């Protein structure tokens, strides 16, 4: 479906998002965020995640669609990127710009909910099944904490359509990424959602640019059917210098299940393709640019299920001399996408292309607790993907 909007729509929405009640004083840091968003709408700055996400909601609302966002810290955003609810520094009153865009707009509901993942996710599942024309989103404070609602994920979200014919368009935003914060604040357990995928029961996506989340959220409501959407959402990428988009990315294009090589590399000289998903892409890209390697291309898969098989084959076909295919992930080998998605690679690559895994070794815990060890492991993952031999060493 068409998820683009006009430049006039974007600027109208951002202008309305900037309007504050009389006497409303923002925190200086929030005021700076709002100032930057004015520059983004004018084309004077690259777009960041917070801008694109808010524009996804705003453009849906002015077209009379409803959005509902719940979670433990969703008004501000756990990582202080969203600022969908603003706080007056003079009297502690709040203002929600999404509720004041236009007199004929859709409804915006934003609730900072209680610390019970199971209770809130269960309610939102029920809400989404009975109100299919509302974009219903539950955001975990960290993706790791969603396992407190595992019963809801197993019994309802992943299998409700097969068991009862109940369609559900619920979105789960699960902050995920290995950044040295330890085993309880690193992994949304991507592997568990992929294990539950079958019969096109839900979507599992890992967007890495602001434009991708913009089109992904709009697609979820605008297309004519409903499937749960599991999103590995960012933490450090919210402010990464390379994780930016342009206004043209929002006014044109669409969600891309696979994003191919972006740099100018001669396809006829490429012998190794590194495919990854998520934040590790930027680590790989920066390392490759530093070394100037010209025989390696890096692609990222943004929709892990349903697996975009034809797009995957088309990406491989770009490189006639390809000899090595490397799957790179941050997660340990027994976690992440490798065990559940690896067969898509081995089953659909020509026999002369060697398939290699580059990532952390299998582990009982998602991540280490020592930051320095994390840094060393992350460097080793990148080095293995770019320089590892076909044997994986």
Q: What pLDDT does residue 390 have?
A: 58
Q: Is the pLDDT of residue 393 over 90?
A: no
Per-residue pLDDT, averaged over 269-273, amounts to: 97
Q: How far apart are CA 279 and CA 359, in angstroms?
A: 13
> Domains of the chain by range and CATH?
7-251 (3.40.50.12470), 258-387 (3.40.50.11610)
Q: Using a pLDDT cut of 90, give the percent of the chain over it.
A: 98
301, β-bridge pairs: 258
Per the structure block, which two tokens stand in for 171?
Answer: 């979105």
Residues 6+ apart with CB under 8 A from 28: none
DSSP conformation class of 336: T
Residues 6+ apart with CB under 8 A from 56: 213, 214, 217, 218
Determine the angle formed by the axes of helices 49-62 and 7-18, rounding to 10 degrees: 100
Between the CA of residue 12 and those of 17, 143, 201, what are the distances in Å?
A: 9, 33, 36
Per-residue pLDDT, averaged over 324-346, amounts to: 96
Segment 57-67, tens digit of pLDDT = 999 999 999 99
Per-residue pLDDT, averaged over 250-274, amounts to: 97
């Amino acid at each position: 479906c068409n998820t683009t909007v006009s430049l006039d729509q974007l600027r109208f929405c951002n202008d309305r998002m900037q309007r504050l009640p009389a006497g409303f004083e923002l925190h200086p840091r929030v005021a700076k965020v709002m100032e930057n968003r004015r520059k983004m709408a004018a084309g004077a700055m690259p777009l960041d995640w917070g801008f694109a996400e808010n524009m996804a909601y705003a453009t849906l609302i002015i077209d009379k669609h409803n959005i509902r966002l719940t979670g433990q810290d969703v008004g501000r955003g756990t990582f202080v990127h969203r600022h969908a609810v603003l706080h007056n520094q003079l009297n502690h009153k709040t203002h929600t710009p999404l509720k004041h865009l236009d007199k004929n707009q859709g409804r915006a509901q934003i609730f900072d909910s209680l610390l019970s993942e199971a209770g809130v996710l269960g309610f939102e599942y029920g809400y989404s099944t009975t109100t299919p024309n509302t974009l219903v989103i539950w955001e975990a404070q960290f993706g790791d904490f969603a396992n407190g609602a595992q019963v809801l994920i197993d019994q309802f979200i992943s299998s409700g359509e097969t068991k009862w014919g109940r369609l559900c368009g619920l979105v789960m935003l699960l902050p995920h990424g290995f950044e040295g914060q330890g085993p309880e604040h690193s992994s949304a357990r991507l592997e568990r959602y992929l294990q539950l995928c079958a019969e096109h029961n839900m979507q599992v996506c890992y967007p890495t640019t602001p434009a991708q989340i913009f089109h992904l959220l709009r697609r979820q409501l605008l297309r004519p059917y409903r499937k749960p959407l599991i999103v590995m959402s960012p933490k450090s990428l919210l402010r990464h210098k390379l994780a930016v988009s342009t206004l043209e990315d929002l006014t044109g294009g669409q969600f891309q299940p696979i994003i191919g090589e972006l740099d100018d590399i001669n396809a006829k000289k490429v012998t190794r393709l590194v495919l990854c998903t998520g934040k590790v892409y930027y680590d790989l890209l920066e390392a490759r640019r530093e070394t100037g390697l010209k025989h390696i291309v890096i692609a990222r898969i943004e929709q892990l299920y349903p697996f975009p098989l034809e797009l995957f084959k088309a990406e491989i076909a770009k490189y006639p001399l390809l000899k090595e295919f490397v799957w790179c992930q941050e997660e340990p080998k027994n976690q992440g996408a490798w065990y559940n998605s690896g067969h898509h690679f081995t089953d659909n690559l020509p026999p002369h292309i060697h398939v290699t895994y580059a990532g952390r070794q299998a582990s009982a815990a998602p991540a280490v607790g020592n930051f320095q060890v994390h840094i060393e492991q992350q460097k080793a993952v990148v080095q293995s993907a770019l320089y590892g031999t076909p044997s994986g060493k």
